[in-house]
Every structure is written in structure tokens, then in C-alpha cells.
Amino acid sequence: MRFGWNVGLALSVISVETESQFGLFWASLMPPEPGNACPQRLSLVELRAGVPSRVTGLNGQPEFSQRLREMGFCESAVVQKIAGNQMVICELCGTRVALSDRVAGDIEVEPIRGDA
């Protein structure tokens, strides 16, 4: 089942095609909950499964960080960890990606809803 929404934000239009993408997009617009003004930053390995988060930085070699950006792991991208600690499975832009724990450890994220 496919859903189609075009969400106008400022001067841009963001196309959201599935219900789960819309939920992640909507969560990214929500302000932090009271008492969570500064979300905790942690690596993708440390993030609990099922928690939507935003990429805040990439650590490691510049060439490898550029490759991660080409895959979609750019700063401010919304990512959700699905499972894993040694092999991390996450969802990014509607696509599931498997990463080693070393690579996932170089991706810095902050939970969107404040539930780390």
C-alpha cells in the first residue's frame, strides 16, 4: 500500500510516499519535549532500536564520511535503527541499510523525540 503526501515547508516541497516516512518526517518537525531541550548525542550503535533520530555528524576519514553522505547519511538526515549491535540495520529514506558496528560507531545521532 502506498501513500502519497506532498508537504510544503517554507519554500520547498518534501515528497513522502509511505506512512512510515510520513511518521519519521512529522517526528522531525516536533519540538523537543519539556525537559529535553538538548537531546543526547550518541553513536548509531548506542541508539536503542526503534527510536527515530537525526544524524548530527560523521566521524572518521574524510573520504569514508563522504561515501556515507553519498549513501544518504548526511547531517540532519532522519534515520531509525531497526536492530543490531555488531551488525546494525537501520532505515534511511525508506531503505534498510546494514552497517558494521565500526561504521555505525562513526555516525553520530540525536534522538528526535528524546527517548534514547
Three-state DSSP state, 108: strand
The pLDDT tens digits of the residues spanning 85-95 come to 889 999 998 99
d(CA 49, CA 84): 8
pLDDT at 25: 57
Boundaries of domain holding 57: 42-111
Residue 87 lies in a domain: yes
Does the pLDDT at position 83 exceed 60?
yes
Higher pLDDT: 97 or 31? It is: 97
Q: 23-79: per-residue pLDDT in tens?
A: 555 555 555 555 555 568 899 999 999 999 999 999 989 999 999 999 999 988 999
pLDDT at residue number 12: 44
Residue 68 in domain: yes
Is 28 a member of any domain? no
The 10 Å Cβ neighbour count of residue 90 is 23
Coil/strand/helix, residue 69: helix
The CATH number linked to 97 is: 2.30.30.90
| Alpha carbons 85 and 81: distance in angstroms, whole number | 10
* Number of structural domains found in the chain: 1
Q: Match 544524524 to its residue by C-alpha cell.
A: 55
